Every structure is written in C-alpha cells, then in structure tokens.
Amino acid sequence: MSQNIVLRIECNLKSFFCKRRFPVSEWTLQDFRLYIQQLFDIKKENLIILLHSEELSQNQDSSLLCDIENLYENDTIIIDSYCHADDIDNVNRLPEKYQMSDKIYSQRKGTLKEYLQQNKIGKYGDHNAFSHTVFNNNKQNVLKLYEMNRKKMEELYIGMHVKVNEPMLNIRYGEIVYIGMLRGIFDEFIGVLFDGPCGDSNGSDGIIQYFDARRRHASFIRPEYIEIITIEETMKS
C-alpha cells in the first residue's frame, strides 16, 4: 500500500461527506478514530467505523491504517454511532417526541411565525407581479448554479491542480486536498492548498481541522469559483 491514500468518509447521521488523502503509513486506527471523533463530535465509545460493511473494532486501534486488511484507494468509510442522540444536525430527524406539530406551534405567542404574519413579511407578505418575477428568476439562477456545481464536482479529484477565481481577489493556483462539506453548513466546498501564503486558512474552520496546512496556505472554496486548468496552465502556475 502507498504512503497516502484517498478515502471518502460518509456519515448519514450528520448528513455529511468528505474526501481527502490520509497518511496510512503514519496514522494508526486510533489516530483515524480521533480525527472522526472531532469531525463529527461523536464520543469514541459510541463511534462505529465501517469498511465494506465490516466494523473496525477498537481492538485494532494500535494498527497502522496501511495494515488494515482490504483498505484501498478511494474506499468509502461509513460512520455511525451506537447512540442515535448523536443525530442532532438535522431537526427534521429528531424523534417525534422532540418535535412540535404545526398546530401547536401556531397556537404559541411571540413566535417568529406570528411576527412574520403580523408584519406581512416573506411568504406572508403581499406579493405583486414584480416580486414573483424576481423570486422566479432567483430560483432559476440557484437551480442553474446547483446543476453546474453538481457536474463540476464529478470532475474534481484529490490532487488535481486548479485555478481559483473568486470575485474581488487575484487569481490563485493550488492543489485540491479536500472535497466535501463543512459541519453546520450542509454545502460542498473544495479545500485548496497553495504554495504560498495567499489563503485564509490552515485547513481548519476555527473549530474542526479538516486537513493539515500551514497558516494562510489554504482556503475552502465554493465549486463555482474553481476552474479546471490545462497542463500548460499547470506548468505556468
């Protein structure tokens, strides 16, 4: 097995996925478990790590990742928990006893819904033809951007050199080292590593360390600002 391999991490409890390169000849399963623990805020004793539907037990924690049987490049690791109270990122998935019905919520005073209704804001407002046109145009633009990003995400891979072209900033070139979501945002980002200090991150969002980078040598970029470059451009960068 090579020194580093790309793995995809999925956790349905958190509606989360990511892909990055892991130093399998340096990290033990214990190191990997600690990374997953801080990524998903699931206690070690509750953590379930599945490889090809088989759980990697804590008895293997001292083993290097490269010694884990049947672990290959671009494998998917599924994360689950023995404690399903860990499923807190999506309120729509809360157990029924913790949910409030629309009828009960409507009877409450001082709620956001009551405020919006009284002040005719948002969907409770008086919409004229112009506002409907603006809404429809914005909706079409959002759907178009979503479809464009979806197709682009299928082309991007870890290790690819790309051009970063964000509004109001100079064009930068870097290597993709992370593809996936950021906790609490539920949207896809590209972690780009730069050769110089032209980023705004060290691979962390201030709380979670998604990948390792020197200070200001990385950035999390939305897919629409990532451009796939030619071999010639790669040489120039």
In DSSP notation, 58-97 reads GGGTTSBGGGSTT--TTEEEEEEES-GGG--S-GGGS-GG
Model pTM score: 0.76
Q: Are residues 198 and 136 in the same domain?
A: no
Of the pLDDT bands very low, low, confident and very high (cuts 50, 70, 90), residue 91 is very low
pLDDT at 98 over 50: no
Residue with tokens 């090579």: 2
Q: Are 190 and 226 in contact (CB under 8 A)?
A: yes
Instruction: Report which of residues 43 and 141 the model is more confident about.
Output: 43
Last residue within a domain, chosen from 129, 155, 181: 155
| Two tokens, residue 31 | 């190191």
Q: Are residues 190 and 231 in the same domain?
A: yes
Q: Are residues 232 and 167 in the same domain?
A: yes
End-to-end CA separation in angstroms for the chain: 31
For 44, list phi and psi in degrees, rounded to 5. Answer: -55, -40
Domain membership flag for residue 111: yes
Q: What is the pLDDT of residue 213?
A: 96
Separation between Cα atoms, residue 31 and residue 48, nearest integer Å: 15
Rounded (5°) CA angle 221-215-234: 50
How many beta carbons lie within 10 A of that of residue 159, not counting itself? 10
Q: 2, exposed or middle or buried, with CB in 10 Å at 0-12, 13-18, 19+?
A: exposed
Residue 97 vs residues 82, 83, 93, 105: alpha-carbon distances, Å: 20, 17, 11, 14
Q: Can you tell me whether residue 159 is helix, strand or coil?
A: coil
Mean pLDDT, residues 68-91: 84
Beta-bridge mates of residue 221: 190
Radius of gyration for the chain, computed over Cα atoms and rounded to the nearest angstrom: 22
Domain membership flag for residue 93: no
Last residue within a domain, chosen from 29, 52, 86: 86
Q: What is the pLDDT of residue 140?
A: 82
Instruction: Report which of residues 66 and 112 the model is more confident about.
Output: 66
Residue range of the domain that includes 142: 100-155
Residue with tokens 């029924």: 96
Mean pLDDT, residues 86-100: 50
Q: Are residues 145 and 169 in the same domain?
A: no
The length of the chain is: 237
Residue % of the chain over a pLDDT of 90? 58
| Two tokens, residue 51 | 């490889």
Q: What is the pLDDT of residue 76?
A: 98
Domain membership flag for residue 171: yes
pLDDT at 133 over 70: no
Please give the tally of structural domains in the chain: 3
Separation between Cα atoms, residue 86 and residue 72, nearest integer Å: 29
Q: Are residues 14 and 77 in the same domain?
A: yes
pLDDT at 102 over 80: no
User: 121-132: per-residue pLDDT in tens?
Assistant: 656 666 555 555
Dihedral of the alpha carbons of 46, 50, 53, 59, in degrees to the nearest 10: -80
pLDDT at 88 over 70: no
